[in-house]
Amino acid sequence: MTLLFVFFVINGCSGDRNPEPADLVIHNAKIFTVNDEAPKATAVAVKGEWIIAVGDYEKISKYINSESTKIIDAEGRLVIPGFNDAHAHFGPVDIDYIELRYTTDPTFITEKVKEKVAEVKPGQLIRGGHWEHEMFFDKTWPAKELIDPVSPDNPVILSRADGHSVLVNSYVLKASGITKNTPNPYGGEIDKDPETGEPTGILKETAQNLIKTGAVKIDYSDEEKKIRSEKEWDAAFDMAARDGVTSIQMPGGGDAVYMQKRKNEGKLTLRIDVAGSLTDDMKRLQKYDSLRKEYPREKNWIRFGYVKGFMDGTLGSATAFFFKPFEDKPETSGLPQMPYDELEKKVLICDSMGFQIGIHAIGSKANNWVLNAYEKASEVNGRDNSRHRIEHAQILIKEDIPRFAELGVIASMQPTHCITDKRFCEKRIGRERSKYAYPWKSLLNAGTKIAFGTDYSVEPLNPMEGLFAAVTRKDRMGEEGDGWFPEEKLSMEEAIRLYTLGAAFAQFMEERKGKIKEGYLADMVILDHDLFNISEEKIMKTKVDYTIVGGRIVFER
């Protein structure tokens, strides 16, 4: 006993005095660790891919070797685990598309088009969009004069955020033969200047069908295509790094072979789970089985995630599946994507083979059916810790809320859908049914494991929008009051937790990812604002200053 005690003391002391030097130390930080045993810290040490110590400077300084340790002085900034997007359709980004989302100053559009014209050949089509005139300082519709001076020799088409209107330049109007004398087509409008009668460049709804771009076709060689494809992938990875997203879980699809190639080249800057489809086709299931053997759960970078199915459609298109008809479309209750028996059969087979299952369900009946099928699978196959998921879990009936926790079903939710859909949710399904729409707080209180994500590219990948949505339930444009069904709001701490540890749990990685803790993967972000101490409107303006994945700095502002 005494010997053992002495051994520990000596070993402990020498370990404290001369620990293995860290590769990276962050200090002078406000660390939110998501580790309940020690939720706060000011410094962290990383060796290779892993966090080796968390604490204060006194503790961490022992890991600093002045020659080999990279040191980041966080200057008091907030450090949290890297964001893990549990539902993102991640893929190559169109590098030629001019992104205009959240533009407030219309002259920004002029600048962006000017830049693009300088890059492309005369006659080449220039596309872009996501502008929203309601966000402009003057809230007025843009007109062709904004882009004509910088694009005399190129067709330019810039879509509004909702895709229902476009701004085109005079080049396109001319190529399309649209003049002051062109009548509005059925279901569309050619916006015209009230004084001159000239088309303004705004084409609404079916008027977009009149467009003939007159664009010069660009033929790329195979080599050029390859280079472009690589650039588009680079753009996607750059976006994720800039947004602080260090893990992505694909909801179906994903190319493990390409990811492996990128990893071999040292260009894989986030961890990714690829996915299969919910099926009862044994040939395909065997293919998924070999894929998961090659990319098993035990790995940390490229893994086979789950098999994905669809139970219904969306609220926006009135195809989400409900017990009762839509208020504004009484002839339909939505569109189940398969009969219940087929769902149950597929779930039983995939579950029996030990696959994790994730099924898209928006409407309350869709969610109810999926829960029923998961319940049946657990009765028949008797497997536990399956961690089956419902993707979106948007609108529930009250009775189904406790069933998630009871059945161990994960609610994989996307907070931004709430603030996008709340604009028409009550019109579509009424106030009463909306009570349990995006009910993350009720689910959490019932003990549900929730994973947050974005559903990129339906919504932007930027996690700050999700955090804003989760804690405010308010419109992005700002809104008075307490938010939509404010009893469902989360605290910032809860929201960050679901976006990190919650998402890690959904992929069976909570014992090594999603916390800033010794023995965890060193995935972290340093933010320019302290999310815990800022006003609501600053949440979405918060930027990532550093993104660290597996101890490597993949983005630095």
Q: What ranges in 358-434 are assigned the alpha helix state H? A: 364-381, 401-407, 415-434
Region near Zn ion per CB under 5 A, out of 104-112, 401-409, 448-456, 485-493: 448-456
Residues 6+ apart with CB under 8 A from 512: 300, 519, 520, 521
Minimum CB distance to Zn ion smaller for 23 or for 273: 273
Does residue 312 belong to the site contacting Zn ion (CB under 5 A)? no
Question: What is the closest distance, in whole angstroms, from the C-beta atom of residue 256 to Zn ion in the complex?
Answer: 19
Minimum CB distance to Zn ion smaller for 142 or for 251: 251
Q: Which residues of 249-268 are buried (b: 16+ CB within 10 A; e: fewer)?
A: bbbbebebeebeebeeeeeb
Region near Zn ion per CB under 5 A, out of 248-256, 302-310, 379-387, 516-524: 248-256
Question: What is the closest distance, in whole angstroms, from the C-beta atom of residue 318 to Zn ion in the complex?
Answer: 18
What's the CA angle centered on 357, arms 500 and 379, to 5 degrees? 115
CB atoms within 10 A of CB 450: 26
Question: What is the closest distance, in whole angstroms, from the C-beta atom of residue 415 to Zn ion in the complex?
Answer: 14
Cα of 545 vs its chain's centroid, Å: 19
DSSP-based three-state secondary structure for 128? strand
DSSP one-letter code for 133: G
Region near Zn ion per CB under 5 A, out of 67-75, 244-252, 395-403, 523-531: 244-252
The tokens for 468 are: 């804003």
Minimum CB distance to Zn ion smaller for 129 or for 453: 453
Minimum CB distance to Zn ion smaller for 312 or for 455: 455
Question: What is the closest distance, in whole angstroms, from the C-beta atom of residue 255 to Zn ion in the complex?
Answer: 17
DSSP bridge pairs for 156:
126
The DSSP element (H or E) to which 283 belongs, if any, is helix 282-294
Region near Zn ion per CB under 5 A, out of 165-173, 189-197, 247-255, 373-381: 247-255
DSSP-based three-state secondary structure for 246? strand
| Nearest one of 512, 514, 503, 417 to 468, comparing CA atoms | 417
Does residue 459 belong to the site contacting Zn ion (CB under 5 A)? no
Question: What is the closest distance, in whole angstroms, from the C-beta atom of residue 503 to Zn ion in the complex?
Answer: 15
CA 236, CA 247: separation in Å to the nearest integer?
Answer: 13
CA 297, CA 303: separation in Å to the nearest integer?
Answer: 6
Region near Zn ion per CB under 5 A, out of 266-274, 301-309, 340-348, 447-455: 447-455
Residues within window 327-386 making contact with Zn ion, judged by CB under 5 A = none
The tokens for 430 are: 């009424």
Minimum CB distance to Zn ion smaller for 251 or for 460: 251
CB atoms within 10 A of CB 105: 12
CA atoms within 13 A on the CB side of 370: 37
Minimum CB distance to Zn ion smaller for 59 or for 89: 89
Minimum CB distance to Zn ion smaller for 271 or for 417: 417
Region near Zn ion per CB under 5 A, out of 6-14, 191-199, 251-259, 443-451: 251-259
Question: What is the closest distance, in whole angstroms, from the C-beta atom of residue 268 to Zn ion in the complex?
Answer: 22
Question: What is the closest distance, in whole angstroms, from the C-beta atom of residue 391 to Zn ion in the complex?
Answer: 7
Question: What is the closest distance, in whole angstroms, from the C-beta atom of residue 500 to Zn ion in the complex?
Answer: 20
Does residue 244 belong to the site contacting Zn ion (CB under 5 A)? no
Question: What is the closest distance, in whole angstroms, from the C-beta atom of residue 296 to Zn ion in the complex?
Answer: 24
Does residue 309 belong to the site contacting Zn ion (CB under 5 A)? no
Among 251, 305, 309, 550, binds Zn ion (CB under 5 A): 251
CA atoms within 13 A on the CB side of 376: 17
Question: What is the closest distance, in whole angstroms, from the C-beta atom of residue 89 to Zn ion in the complex?
Answer: 6
Size of the site for Zn ion (CB under 5 A): 2
DSSP one-letter code for 456: B
Minimum CB distance to Zn ion smaller for 251 or for 463: 251
Residues within window 207-236 making contact with Zn ion, judged by CB under 5 A = none
Instruction: Report yes or no: 69 and 23 within 8 Å, Cβ to Cβ.
Output: yes
Question: What is the closest distance, in whole angstroms, from the C-beta atom of residue 284 to Zn ion in the complex?
Answer: 20
Does residue 455 belong to the site contacting Zn ion (CB under 5 A)? yes
CA 438, CA 488: separation in Å to the nearest integer?
Answer: 8
Region near Zn ion per CB under 5 A, out of 98-106, 162-170, 246-254, 428-436: 246-254
Residue with the CB atom nearest Zn ion in the bound state: 455
Minimum CB distance to Zn ion smaller for 208 or for 279: 279
DSSP-based three-state secondary structure for 176? helix
Cα of 236 vs its chain's centroid, Å: 12
Instruction: Report yes or no: 141 and 199 within 8 Å, Cβ to Cβ.
Output: no
- The footprint of Zn ion (CB under 5 A) covers 251, 455
